[in-house]
Amino acid sequence: MQTGKQEFKRGWQIIFASSIGIGLGLSPVPFYTIGMFAPELAAEFGWGFGDIMIGITVMTLTVLLSSPLVGGLADRFGVRPVILASIVLFSLGFGTFALGNGSLLLFYFSWGLIAAVGAGTLPITWTRGVNLWFEKKKGLALGLALIGTGVFGSLIKPLTAFLIAELGWRGAYVVIAALPLVIALPIAYFFFYESPDHKQKTEVATDVKEETGMTMAQVFRDRRFWTICIAIIPISFALGGPVPNMENLLLSKGFDKAAVAGIVPMIGISVLVGRTLGGWLIDHFWAPGIAFILLSLPALACWMLTADELTTLTALFAIFLIGFASGVEYDLLAFLIARYFGMKSYSTIYGFIYATFALGAGVGPMVFGIIYDKTQSYNSILLFSLVILLVGAAMLLTLGKYREFGKDDPAHTEESLGFAPAEQAQ
């Protein structure tokens, strides 16, 4: 077993490629830009914010189907070809937003398209590679690999605002669509390999637990799998709902556009902090316990954002708490899957769990938008999010001890995985 330093020396390029690829992929790009495009589209076509945010729901429903399929393809054929093809198709699909003509049907079609062809750019694929390259510092490596969502989340909002001002919303869509093709694709091609063996290095395969873990039949019979799936829905709803609506939320609290433009980048910055600090913490402490603490903090943020008079400092702190917890989510899921289910069916498992994550994150923005259209306030949905966030975080505390996987390890047997009457090792 290599030391953490040796792992990073050997696998830094995997983290680098994953960070860029995830940061310019389906997960952050549509999610972080929709809040900037929404006012332009509403002014251009007369759409309501609820109508626009339904696009995220369409993307979510498509991801519910596409992510398990992509996970299965990655487990069967390897993640690298899936990633490279998906980057190209996602870039082309995102460009179709520039063809908008006022038809909501066409707008929703574009959301469904990018979800179908871009699912291979989700953490489902990239984190499999990271998990296979790292063992000692798995959590920190995952956090750094997923850091791209925070970096690009903090940059892409002001970039989108600049592009809209200079090129109009259609031109902005075209430029953003080109970024994955121009930046992420060549980096993935030259730097990303699924495992040390796939790069034909001299390291022996015993350092990489690639073939150990649970089968999908075992996973579907395991209560931990269903606990994570159920818990992640309210968590992703409560954290995902406010982010695309944040610009309008702040405007509704009396902030002007200039102030909002200065405040919302805190989302990306806090995601960045959550990725790195969260990754380090789950390497050193029990991950479900860390998750409960860090995912409970945004409940305070939801309460703070309901204040009638919201100061800039309060808004920044609340946004930081939401972004910080959002930063923990992805690397937490990747870590939990590897520790509780192993790597045998990793991408397929992640695909199913990500589908439930996407359900909450996709429905949340739409519900937030609809509630605002009806009440001209986000307060009621923020208080609802406060409650369900605490419930979801508490459910993770029931996961128990990590499992150990290996051919000669008793945890690899049906009995010790929990399918016999006596559930011994967890």
Tokens of 26: 């389906």
φ, ψ at 213 (rounded to 5°): 135, -175
Instruction: Please report the pLDDT score of residue 373 as a whole number.
Output: 86
What structural domains and CATH numbers belong to the chain?
10-193+211-399+409-416 (1.20.1250.20)
Helix (H) or strand (E) holding 398: none
Tell me the whole-structure pTM to 2 decimals: 0.74
Q: What is the pLDDT along the chain (426 residues), one digit of tens a residue?
A: 556 577 777 778 899 999 999 999 998 899 889 888 998 999 999 998 888 988 988 988 898 889 889 988 888 888 899 999 999 999 999 999 999 999 999 999 999 999 999 999 998 898 888 888 887 788 888 888 888 877 787 788 889 999 999 999 999 999 999 999 999 999 999 988 776 555 544 344 444 444 588 989 999 999 999 999 999 999 999 998 888 888 888 988 888 878 887 888 787 788 778 888 888 888 889 999 999 998 888 999 999 999 888 888 999 999 999 988 887 887 788 889 988 998 888 888 988 898 888 888 878 888 988 898 899 899 999 999 999 999 999 999 999 999 887 654 444 444 445 444 333 333
Instruction: Please report the pLDDT score of residue 4 as a whole number.
Output: 58
CA distance readout (Å), 310 to 11, 84, 135 = 45, 45, 44
For residue 259, count other CB atoms closer than 10 A to its CB: 14
Q: What is the DSSP string of 3-69?
A: -HHHHHHHHHHHHHHHHHHHHTSTTTHHHHHHHHHHHHHHHHH---HHHHHHHHHHHHHHHHHHHHH
Instruction: Please report the pLDDT score of residue 44 as a whole number.
Output: 93
d(CA 87, CA 67): 15
Task: Report yes or no: 412 and 211 within 8 Å, Cβ to Cβ.
Answer: no
